[in-house]
Amino acid sequence: MEFGKVLSLGREKLPMLQPELLEDAENGLPHLLRTLIHRQYRRLCVLDSEIAQYEHDITMQVQQDEDAKRLMAIEGVGPLTASGFFS
């Protein structure tokens, strides 16, 4: 807000806002702040990738467990919940 920009809450919106924040030379953001935003965005991308890999690993693990597969047959129970019961 200090620089006249208000970002919506939620990390889902950052990929759409990043080009506007970093590429618009006329928006008044200092170079240091642009660098910080870019670094934090890259860090967020790495974390998203790691989380996706963990979710994939958990899904693969519970698909090999008959009890977990039966539990996932219940509406609203997915791999993460099932893995919590049988890990």
Tell me, yes or no, if the pTM score tops 0.75: no
Are 29 and 3 within 8 A, CB to CB? yes
Q: For residue range 27-54, list pLDDT tens digits in order.
A: 778 888 888 888 888 898 899 999 999 9
Pick the more confident residue, 38 or 60: 60
d(CA 62, CA 60): 6
H/E element, 46: helix 31-62
Which of these ranges, 16-25, 44-53, 75-84, has the smallest mean pLDDT?
A: 16-25
> What are the backbone angles phi and psi of residue 33, rounded to the nearest 5°?
-70, -40
d(CA 48, CA 53): 9
H/E element, 72: helix 66-72
- Per-residue confidence (pLDDT) for residue 69, from 0 to 100: 93
